[in-house]
Chains A and B, each alone.
Chain A
Amino acid sequence: MAYDYAKHIRPGKLPHIWCPGCGHGIAMKGMIRAIDACGLEKNNTAIVSGIGCASRLPGYMDYCTLHTAHGRAAAFATGVKMARPEMNVIVVGGDGDGTAIGGNHFIHACRRNIDMTYIILNNSIYGMTGGQFSPCTPTGAKASTTVYGNPDPTFDISKLAIGAGASFVARGTAFHAAQIDKLIAEGIKHKGLAVIEILDDCPTTYGRRNKFRSVVDMMKRLKEIAVPVAAAAKMTAEQLEGKVLTGILHQENKPEYCEQYAQVIARAKCA
């Protein structure tokens, strides 16, 4: 029997806004399977986003959903989680939303290690506004604001998250659909800030400008560049040139923010 996604989707809210060939829908299905696998209760789960194509995702989900302002999802979500630590909080957004305009909130959410799951759908472009370069657009690539080639270096979101203190960091791709739910489920189960970066495609605003002849070509690229961390351990630096590690990249146990604050409350009450 086919998996029943419908019970997680708000009645009447589909079709979604995403273009044919966009990987966001694949990621959303993975997220639904992960939420299901973890048994998260709808009334006790907030899904928070910023602005952009990926940030439209919460509107389709039959949960407590909060579509905020550009870049601010992590900060809104921090308020929700602090005020109601018993809620599960999932943040969803794109690479520009999360690492450019929202970069400060992103790194500080990581630093606090607050118990939330942050899913970044990284399609290397600002899709909704028509394909301007993001901090994740490859150097040299074409975007509507880099027609002569992108002069900017790129962020490695997963490395950024690890460096900023996130205690769980994983990366998957829209091609490796079956892995997405497992990575997100591990992130949800993890106590602390979990970042799951999903490498995604934007055929409409990125692919067409960068010589991808079809969505299939973009998917093939995701397939080719992805190397699971276990396999990478046996590969040489030369072999890893141009590849991207996938799987759980980092996991550690360290103090979680709401638990730390609970101790503040306990100390204040004794003071």
Chain B
Amino acid sequence: MAKKVALLQGNDACAQGALYAGCTFFGGYPITPSTEVAEVLSIELPKIGGKFIQMEDEIGAMASVIGASLTGSKALTATSGPGVSLKQELIGYACIAEVPCVIINVMRGGPSTGMPTGPGQSDVQQAKWGTHGDHATIALVPASVQEIFTETVRAFNLAEKYRMPVQVLYDEIVGHMRERIEFPEPGELEVINRAAPTVTPENYKPYDTSFGDVPPLAGFGTGYRFHVTGLNKAQDGFPTTKAEYVDAEERRQISKVEKDEARAVIEKNEEYLVDDAEVLIFAYGSTSRSARYAVNELRKEGIKAGLFRPITLWPFPEKRIAALGKKVKGIVVPEMNLGQMNLEVERVVKGTCPVLHLGRVDGEPLNPGQIIAKVKEVK
């Protein structure tokens, strides 16, 4: 049977992906250029008995999402840079309390109000370092309408699997772009639900690492009583200041994402003509589309360019970029900011090849011509 297809906007695809993943709660606050995600879910969620609430502010939206998730719901919020700035404290809360949830950031320029209707990619380091304190980050950066759908599903899966907030960042261009999308059939994409406790309520501890470094999370109202706090806590969930507990818990919460075994699941990249590439372009989101065009044009001219496109931006694909850095003459990092992911590329290649940044923050996309010119600067 032919698949259901549609001409869909990126933000609409995000909402459809959330529904496919089993999202039953959305808490949000209106903000350009993400609002269509909320609008679609305000229509679709009640049809399946799900809940949509427009909260009084961005912080309240994030709080409602965490509260809903603690009852067992798969919960989502969608916003843009200023909203993500406001949500940061509670993103950290979801990290330390280990509450699965998904945060969509349709990126515009910044700082502050910036250019609300223009695209940007300047929240990529905020996604990693925005909230205070040490913590792991999972952030996905889809580059097409189809991929927004699939990556939103994957964001829910990773949130549930690793029991933490997962951010999906796509720029306004991809968010408002309309493209053909093929809807996956039910069951075609994997849908992961959080591990449920296997012990009786009397023996349940919300951070019991004897079940692994992602302990099962019970839901409020399901017969399990437990305590959730943003304080450093022991395995029973109650606050502690004991050095050995605090240290062990903080390290576990990072290693559950950054250890090799987890990275193998979480990291996802696309490599285009990389095998024989002499110049590597590292590009994500809408910029990667210009970069792919640039690679094709450069190849016609006999310049061996290749594209590395991270689909998971955080955790950063350290090993692969470090390995490629030793093979190529240079890496070009085009992005709609004045130098963010190039810092990470520089950090991991450790000077083994030059890293050239190409930034644009005037509200216009980076075009292939600009990328081609930058690649030609690599000697």
- What residues make up the interface of A, taking CB atoms closer than 8 Å to B? 10, 13, 42-44, 46, 48, 58-59, 62-69, 72, 75-84, 86-87, 104-105, 107-108, 261, 264-265, 267-269, 271
- Considering the chains assembled together, what is the distance between the CA atoms of A152 and B89 in angstroms? 28
Given contacts A78-B55, A264-B46, A265-B49, contact A43 B64 (CB under 8 A): no
Query: Are B47 and A68 in contact (CB-based, < 8 A)?
Result: no
Residue of A whose beta carbon sits closest to that of B49: A265
Query: Are A83 and B68 in contact (CB-based, < 8 A)?
Result: yes
Q: Can you offer 16 A-B residue contacts whose CB atoms are under 8 A? A: A65-B228, A67-B227, A67-B229, A72-B59, A75-B61, A76-B64, A78-B63, A78-B67, A79-B63, A79-B68, A79-B70, A80-B67, A83-B67, A83-B71, A105-B59, A261-B46
Most buried by A among B24, B25, B56: B56
Query: Are A63 and B90 in contact (CB-based, < 8 A)?
Result: no
- Considering the chains assembled together, what is the distance between the CA atoms of A83 and B201 in angstroms? 21
Query: Are B53 and A108 in contact (CB-based, < 8 A)?
Result: no
> In this assembly, does B1 line the interface, its C-beta being within 8 Å of a C-beta of chain A?
no
Residue of A whose beta carbon sits closest to that of B229: A67
| Cβ of B335 to closest chain A Cβ, rounded Å | 32
| Cβ of A85 to closest chain B Cβ, rounded Å | 9
> In this assembly, does B347 line the interface, its C-beta being within 8 Å of a C-beta of chain A?
no
Query: Are A58 and B227 in contact (CB-based, < 8 A)?
Result: yes
- Interface digits, B56-81 against A, CB 8 Å rule (1 contact, 0 not)? 11011101111111111101000000
* Chain A residues within 8 Å of B73, by CB: 83
* Chain A residues within 8 Å of B71, by CB: 79-80, 83-84, 87
Residue of A whose beta carbon sits closest to that of B239: A59
Tell me whether chain B's interface is mostly helix, strand or loop, or mixed. Answer: mixed
> In this assembly, does B231 line the interface, its C-beta being within 8 Å of a C-beta of chain A?
yes
- Considering the chains assembled together, what is the distance between the CA atoms of A268 and B69 in angstroms? 23
> In this assembly, does B223 line the interface, its C-beta being within 8 Å of a C-beta of chain A?
yes
> In this assembly, does B43 line the interface, its C-beta being within 8 Å of a C-beta of chain A?
yes
- Considering the chains assembled together, what is the distance between the CA atoms of A104 and B93 in angstroms? 19
Query: Are A82 and B68 in contact (CB-based, < 8 A)?
Result: yes
Query: Are B65 and A79 in contact (CB-based, < 8 A)?
Result: yes
> In this assembly, does B186 line the interface, its C-beta being within 8 Å of a C-beta of chain A?
no
Total contacts A-B at CB 8 Å: 137
| Cβ of B233 to closest chain A Cβ, rounded Å | 10
Residue of B whose beta carbon sits closest to that of A76: B67
Given contacts A69-B230, A265-B46, A268-B43, contact A64 B56 (CB under 8 A): no
| Cβ of B352 to closest chain A Cβ, rounded Å | 43
- Interface digits, B173-203 against A, CB 8 Å rule (1 contact, 0 not)? 0000000000000000000000000000100
Query: Are B47 and A268 in contact (CB-based, < 8 A)?
Result: yes
Partner of B228, one of A66, A86, A268: A66
Query: Are A79 and B25 in contact (CB-based, < 8 A)?
Result: yes
Query: Are B64 and A78 in contact (CB-based, < 8 A)?
Result: yes
Which 8 residue pairs spanning A and B have beta carbons closest together?
Answer: A79-B67, A79-B64, A75-B63, A268-B46, A83-B68, A75-B60, A108-B56, A76-B67
| Cβ of A40 to closest chain B Cβ, rounded Å | 12
Partner of A69, one of B51, B65, B93: B93
| Cβ of A159 to closest chain B Cβ, rounded Å | 20
* Chain A residues within 8 Å of B201, by CB: 43
Instruction: List CB contacts (< 8 Å) of B205-232 with chain A.
Output: 220-231
Given contacts A69-B89, A83-B71, A271-B47, contact A59 B225 (CB under 8 A): no
* Chain B residues within 8 Å of A46, by CB: 220-221
Query: Are A69 and B60 in contact (CB-based, < 8 A)?
Result: no
- Considering the chains assembled together, what is the distance between the CA atoms of A30 and B102 in angstroms? 39
Query: Are A104 and B57 in contact (CB-based, < 8 A)?
Result: yes
Given contacts A44-B221, A75-B60, A87-B71, 18 further A-B contacts (CB under 8 A): A46-B221, A59-B238, A64-B221, A64-B225, A67-B229, A69-B93, A72-B59, A72-B63, A72-B90, A79-B65, A82-B25, A84-B220, A108-B56, A261-B53, A264-B46, A268-B43, A269-B47, A269-B49
> In this assembly, does B27 line the interface, its C-beta being within 8 Å of a C-beta of chain A?
yes
Partner of A79, one of B49, B66, B229, B239: B66
* Chain A residues within 8 Å of B238, by CB: 13, 59
Residue of B whose beta carbon sits closest to that of A55: B229
Residue of B whose beta carbon sits closest to that of A269: B47
Given contacts A68-B230, A69-B90, A72-B90, contact A269 B67 (CB under 8 A): no
* Chain A residues within 8 Å of B75, by CB: 79, 83
* Chain B residues within 8 Å of A108, by CB: 55-56, 60
Given contacts A59-B227, A69-B230, A83-B25, contact A269 B51 (CB under 8 A): no
- Considering the chains assembled together, what is the distance between the CA atoms of A44 and B221 in angstroms? 5
Given contacts A65-B228, A68-B230, A80-B70, contact A86 B221 (CB under 8 A): yes
- Considering the chains assembled together, what is the distance between the CA atoms of A166 and B226 in angstroms? 29
| Cβ of A266 to closest chain B Cβ, rounded Å | 9
- Considering the chains assembled together, what is the distance between the CA atoms of A58 and B231 in angstroms? 14
Most buried by A among B55, B70, B227: B227
* Chain B residues within 8 Å of A48, by CB: 67
Query: Are A105 and B70 in contact (CB-based, < 8 A)?
Result: no
| Cβ of B230 to closest chain A Cβ, rounded Å | 6
- Considering the chains assembled together, what is the distance between the CA atoms of A271 and B51 in angstroms? 16
Most buried by B among A58, A83, A87: A83
- Considering the chains assembled together, what is the distance between the CA atoms of A269 and B25 in angstroms? 16
Partner of B68, one of A58, A80, A268: A80
- Considering the chains assembled together, what is the distance between the CA atoms of A72 and B61 in angstroms? 10
| Cβ of B226 to closest chain A Cβ, rounded Å | 7
* Chain A residues within 8 Å of B59, by CB: 72, 75, 105
Residue of A whose beta carbon sits closest to that of B89: A69
- Considering the chains assembled together, what is the distance between the CA atoms of A83 and B222 in angstroms? 12
* Chain B residues within 8 Å of A261, by CB: 46, 51, 53
